[in-house]
Amino acid sequence: MSSGSPHPLRSWGRLSRVAWLASCLLASTWAHAALPIQHWTQASGARVYLVESHAIPMVDVQIDLDAGSRRDPAAQAGLASVMAGQMSSGLRSAPARSGAYVQALDENQIGEAWADLGASFGASAGADRMGFSLRSLSYPDLLDKAVALAARQMAHPSFPEAVWLRDRERISAAIRESLTKPATLVQQKFASAVYGVHPYGYRTTPESLSRIGVQDLHTLHAQSLQTCRASVSVVGALTRAQTDALVTRLLALWPNTSPCKPLPTVPEVAPLAEAQNLSVPFDSAQAHVLIGQPGYKRNDPDFFALLVGNHILGGGGFVSRLTEQVREKRGLSYSVYSYFSPGLHAGAFTVGLQTRPDQATQAVAVAKEVVQGFVSAGPTEAELLAAKSNLVGGFALRIDSNRKLLDNVANIAWNRLPLNYLDTWTQQVERVSLDDVRRAMARVLQPQRMVTVVLGAQP
């Protein structure tokens, strides 16, 4: 490299500053043109999804597995999240391709290695999936090293006991502290009532953490890393051939999983049999209110009708019907909202607000009345047109960066959506009719059987 050419690492700060502008320009283009998502399945069974983006020399990778918290044992709630978090605590030594051994790394050395590369790697677990993410410049010398380190971190975590015991105390202390906050308490009460015994309702506690040992982390790790179940999404400055080679190197250290091992079935969320009205005493300046029920699964054919319907009801911010009735007309709450959380199972439908303790009863009554009226009669033509215009107009903001685009591609990969899902997203929204919204909302929501949790109301 000549003295007049900046080293790629020295260019990282400049690239990160221009990335935002480049992404905005790309988003404008992507919003009005087809997004060519390439898809293929490797011999290992790993499914790969790629969007080539050569505007900036950057690569973002997301690897998802069916190993989220819905598969946690009830007595060890939090296990998947803990395992993901502990994957940066240390790497064990392992044989290299040359026949020598690569040295073990502790948590500080791992952090320094990523900093030296100007790259990042992360692991996390949600309700349905465990994910690994890699971001790196696409310069070959840097990307090769980042891929090698990420492959080791996924396949060879050491899970040192001393680090886990230290972190367990830290996490337990944070949980205990969170239980002094009204928002945490009301959310836990709500989730328990909506989901019942389903794993979506599990909550991590100091007690459940105390039942997790490092051997449990090793066991879950060995069970989770199956290449045949990996969904790999890539956005960046790589060709298809380069991406295929990158994915092969990333998964090269995973155990051979042919044939693919079947996973146990997780039961569905049970519908609510009756309404529940739960009051939680708490000395708070504001009463916290959550109202809801199990909603729908992500593969529901009425996804777009429910998306538009909820936007009108309470997902559209200050232009929603709940805001108009609860905030604007009656001044009962500064903010009121509703949302669905669809997943592999029926995630919750939730209406949420905060209000003065002496107004809680009235606020709950108004919110329930709005939901009941919307489910019974549906939206007006004006509401429908405004919602569709708002959603379509904001579509570009859903893909205005590599990270957001990657999230959308990973969503397509995980939920097995059509490859043209983003290309047709606005048309799907525009196609929703009044009858579609009325029918879908009436099918999914049962206002007479919802859970209502009020924390901090005046007796």
- Strands (DSSP E) contained in 237-283 are 276-280
pLDDT digits (tens, 9 = 90+) for 185-240: 999 999 999 999 999 999 999 999 999 999 999 999 999 999 999 999 999 999 99
DSSP 297: -
What percentage of residues in the chain have a pLDDT greater than 70? 91
pLDDT digits (tens, 9 = 90+) for 38-94: 999 999 999 999 999 999 999 999 999 999 999 999 999 999 999 999 999 999 998
Domains and CATH numbers, the chain: 41-250 (3.30.830.10), 276-455 (3.30.830.10)
- Following CA atoms 63, 68, 71, 76 in sequence, which dihedral angle do they give, to the nearest 10 degrees? 130
* pLDDT reading at 14 higher than 90: no
Q: What is the pLDDT of residue 22?
A: 44
pLDDT digits (tens, 9 = 90+) for 280-311: 999 999 999 999 999 999 999 999 999 999 99
pLDDT digits (tens, 9 = 90+) for 232-264: 999 999 999 999 999 999 999 998 777 888 899
Q: What is the pLDDT of residue 99?
A: 57
By the 8 A CB rule, do 325 and 366 touch? yes
For residues 428-448, give the mean pLDDT: 98
- SS3 (DSSP) at 338: strand
By the 8 A CB rule, do 133 and 121 touch? yes
Report residue 149 as tokens: 């380190």
Q: What is the pLDDT of residue 33?
A: 52
- SS3 (DSSP) at 22: helix
Round to the nearest angstrom and report the end-to-end CA distance of the chain.
74
For residues 378-383, give the mean pLDDT: 97
Query: DSSP assignment of 219-264, as one string?
Result: HHHHHH--GGG-EEEEEES--HHHHHHHHHHHTTTSPP--SPPPPP
- DSSP H helix total and E strand total for the chain: 16, 15
Report residue 299 as tokens: 């593969």
Question: What's the pTM?
Answer: 0.90
Q: What is the mean pLDDT of the chain?
A: 92
Which residue in 381, 354, 333 sits closest to 289, CA to CA?
354
By the 8 A CB rule, do 49 and 39 touch? yes
